[in-house]
Amino acid sequence: MTLTSPHLGSSEAWTDARLLYALEEVVEKELNRHLKVAKDWMPHEYVPFGDGRNFPGFFEDGEAWDPEQSKVTDVGRIALVVNLLTEDNLPSYHHEIATLFGRDGAWGTWVHRWTAEEGRHGIVMRDYLLTSRAVDPDKLEQFRMAHMAEGFESDNRHSMLHSVAYVAFQELATRVSHRNTGHQSGDPVCDRMLARIATDENLHMVFYRNLLGAAFEIAPDLTMQAVRDVVVNFRMPGHGMPGFERAAAQMAIGEIYNMRIHHDDVLQPVLRFLKVMEIDGLGPEGQKAQDELGLYMGVLDAEAAKFDEKLAARKARMAARAGR
């Protein structure tokens, strides 16, 4: 398969439309691979419906929510709300990628397949949270309304290539966040559910990561610049939700998602797999982007080391207090 074109050698020649056309064959290949390895699963099979009971409202036997009813840890509740509100914005995400990637051919098939798979995540998480009474249902709905009413606009909507680079990292970040939330939740049922969701997210990451690798082959300078921009300015898609900064800080302390995890478990695996820092033959702008990317990763690693020290000191203080 030949991906390069003698007429599109310069960066200026690569428009979004030309990149979409040039990558169509890769999208089809990755879509077929994905459909072979992805397994259908039933959201209702992961929800403990037998634990459910009515809430106040139209039911005379309705029982108000109380924190004592929740089986999950405090940080688990925080992370579950953040993760679900992120999944709730699926209509906006679909609009974004359908606009960028189109609804025709292999691109369109992938857009709709991805949306259908992601839809399961919100369904199973909400059913679990309400059935198990893991979180306050009224606050959850209020947060959902506030978050979705604000709408969502991607930082990378200006560029198809930036969007591909972003989701290659973001899908892995979401997978890691879900998996760690399950580990820290304190509820085996929740852990099993989030492990299933994380499996989907990992497959989505592989699709976009491989697509990003193909983009490096046909437009290395532009792709390097896109990766540099995305990594340096990376934000999780839920950054606009109510109370996100406070929740993110608590999730960082709870080791669900923090700078060390972001560096070691999200950015590095993708960069290492694609051998981004080893790509040579770049033009001036591509080389500059690669250098700046390397410098940023070094700074982030140093900042993560400082965070590690603070977290270790905090754990030591808590252990000392517990031992008194």
pLDDT digits (tens, 9 = 90+) for 256-306: 999 999 999 999 999 999 999 999 999 999 999 999 999 999 999 999 999
Write out the residue range of the structural domain in which residue 109 sits.
16-47+70-314
Confidence at residue 308, expressed as pLDDT on a 0 to 100 scale: 94
Res. 10: pLDDT tops 80:
no
> Does residue 33 lie in a domain region?
yes
> Does residue 8 lie in a domain region?
no
Looking at residue 89, the DSSP 8-state letter turns out to be T
Closest CA to 87 of 175, 166, 208, 192: 175
Res. 44: pLDDT tops 60:
yes
CA-based torsion, 22, 24, 27, 33: positive or negative: negative
Average pLDDT over residues 5-32: 78
CA 222-226-228 angle, 5° bins: 115
> Does residue 60 lie in a domain region?
no
pLDDT tens-digit readout, 130-157? 999 999 999 999 999 998 888 788 888 8
Please tell me the distance from the alpha carbon of residue 308 to that of residue 296, in angstroms, as a whole number: 18
Count Cβ atoms below 10 Å from residue 316 Cβ, excluding itself.
10
Q: Which residues contact 135 (CB under 8 A, 6 or more apart)?
A: 70, 77, 80, 81, 129
Task: Write out the binding residues.
Answer: 87, 118, 121, 171, 201, 204
pLDDT tens-digit readout, 234-262? 998 888 888 889 999 999 999 999 999 99
Please tell me the distance from the alpha carbon of residue 310 to that of residue 308, in angstroms, as a whole number: 5
Query: What are all long-range contacts of 105-112, with beta carbons under 8 Å and residues at least 24 apart?
Result: 105/24, 105/27, 105/28, 106/24, 106/27, 106/28, 106/31, 107/20, 107/24, 107/27, 109/31, 110/27, 110/30, 110/31, 110/34, 110/207
pTM above 0.85, yes or no: yes
> Does residue 208 lie in a domain region?
yes
Residue 120 Cα to chain centre, angstroms: 15
SS3 43: helix
> Does residue 10 lie in a domain region?
no
Name the pLDDT band for 8 (thresholds 50, 70, 90). Answer: very low
Q: Which residues contact 40 (CB under 8 A, 6 or more apart)?
A: none
For 222, the token pair is: 């532009």
Confidence at residue 188, expressed as pLDDT on a 0 to 100 scale: 97
Closest CA to 262 of 226, 236, 289: 236
Q: Is 191:185 a contact under the CB 8 Å cutoff?
A: yes
Q: Domain holding 130: CATH number?
A: 1.10.620.20
Res. 83: pLDDT tops 60:
yes
For 236, the token pair is: 């999780």
CA-based torsion, 127, 128, 133, 136: positive or negative: negative
> Does residue 137 lie in a domain region?
yes
Task: Write out the binding residues for Fe cation.
Answer: 87, 118, 121, 171, 201, 204
CA atoms in the 13 A half-sphere facing the CB of 110: 25
Residue 211 Cα to chain centre, angstroms: 17
Confidence at residue 27, expressed as pLDDT on a 0 to 100 scale: 96
> Does residue 9 lie in a domain region?
no
Question: Based on the structure, what is the number of domains in the chain?
Answer: 1
Token pair 């098939």 is found at 109
281 torsion bin: left (phi>0), alpha (psi -120 to 50), beta (else) = left
Count Cβ atoms below 10 Å from residue 283 Cβ, excluding itself.
14
- Residues for the chain: how many in total? 324
> Does residue 1 lie in a domain region?
no
